[in-house]
Amino acid sequence: MKIFDIHHHVGVLRIGAESGIEEAEADADMDRMIENDYILRSEKMKRHGITHACLLPGNSYSMMNGIQDTKRMNDFIAKYRDTHTDLFPVAMGLVELSHGEASLEEVDRIHEELKLNGLVFHHRFQGGAINTALMWPILERIQKHNLKVFIHVISESNMEAPWRLEILADEFPEITFVALDAFSGISQGEWMSYIAKKHSNILFDTGCMVSVGNDLKSFIKSHGTKRVLFGSTCYVTPDNFAYPYPLIELKEMGLSQEELEDVFYLNAAKYFDLL
């Protein structure tokens, strides 16, 4: 079975840490950085039977040079995808809330030059809540280019509280948002079913899923499998899990083969227009 993991971060999993991407620029050796990561990432994917993944930039990169550092991060992600499209057919870019007009120009470049598939936001790393007014012009530009949008709703962050994403979903009904880390808390798992009922333009990722009380089975009973996308929240520096928990949870849930194919591959492939 094909398994498409939509939640693969490239960078270091550490708040405030330097990711190493800027080191690649200093050494003029981006290719080496890509290959070093690829060796670790591809082996991890093979070990768990994951056949495809979406590359996401990490948010702990150095921003001493402002928008130039963000542009280099996007260049890195695009080159990584272009070098290894067999495993990574899609990738997302990022912009920073604080960069103002330069962020809008970077959205244009992400679409027109880099051909990235969309943008990912992790607001607790980016200095503003999900529904900050700074998101409006960015989302308007994203909508103009018909790009995809991933937004983290990790349960431990009030800046990323799901109700804030609901506001964006109401204001931008033509954008289909993916809520990353949707089932990352016990009470939040129950909340997702309510949100799904109210907002048809939100899909739900399984990254950072809690092992007890995630409520995913009830969610699927109420809303089916078409709105769930498999994600593991994968990092390789450091290796952040021994086994991607959502994978075993979904396999042991009693879903049909057709339902598993939806969650593990088809929903992501359809979202990214790969079919």
The CA distance from 155 to 47, in Å, is 28
Q: What is the pLDDT of residue 220?
A: 98
Answer yes or no: CATH 3.20.20.140 is held by domain 4-271: yes
Residue 103, pLDDT > 70, answer yes
How far from the centroid of its chain's Cα atoms is residue 148's Cα?
10
State the DSSP string of the chain.
---EEEEEEESB-STT---SHHHHHHHT-HHHHHHHHHHHHHHHHHHHT--EEEEEE-S----TTTHHHHHHHHHHHHHHHHH-TTT-SEEEE---GGGTHHHHHHHHHHHHTS---EEEE-GGGTTS-TT-TTHHHHHHHHHHHT-EEEEE--TT-GGG-HHHHHHHHHH-TTS-EEEETTTSSHHHHHHHHHHHHH-TTEEEE-TT--SSS--HHHHHHHH-STTEE----B-BBTB--SS-HHHHHHHTTT--HHHHHIIIIIHHHHHTT--
The stretch 53-63 carries a mean pLDDT of 89
pLDDT at 15 over 50: no
Q: What is the dihedral of CA 266, 270, 272, 275, to 10 degrees?
A: 90
Quote the pLDDT of residue 18. Answer: 45
| Closest to 177 measured CA to CA, from 157, 158, 198, 156 | 198
* Per-domain boundaries in the chain: 4-271
For residues 92-106, average pLDDT:
97
Q: How many CA atoms lie within 13 A of 111 on its CB side?
A: 16
Note the pLDDT tens digit of each residue in 226-252: 999 999 999 998 899 999 999 999 999
- The encoded tokens of residue 59 equal 């948010």
The rounded Cα 121 to chain-centroid distance in angstroms is 8
Question: In this structure, is the dihedral angle defined by the CA atoms of residues 66, 71, 110 and 46, taken in order, positive or negative?
Answer: negative
The tens digit of pLDDT for each residue in 160-189 reads 999 999 999 999 999 999 999 999 999 899
238 cis-preceded (ω within 30 degrees of 0): yes
Query: At residue 102, does pLDDT exceed 70?
Result: yes
How far apart, in whole angstroms, are the C-alpha atoms of residue 93 and residue 129?
19
What is the distance between the alpha carbons of residues 185 and 143, in angstroms, rounded to a whole number? 30
What pLDDT is stored for residue 164 in this prediction?
Answer: 98
Please check the confidence at residue 35 and state whether its pLDDT lies above 60: yes
Question: How confident is the model over 64-90, as a mean pLDDT?
Answer: 95
Whether 20 has a pLDDT exceeding 80, the answer reads no
The predicted pLDDT at position 24 comes to 44
**What's the chain's average pLDDT?**
93
pTM here is 0.94
Query: What pLDDT score does 49 carry?
Result: 98
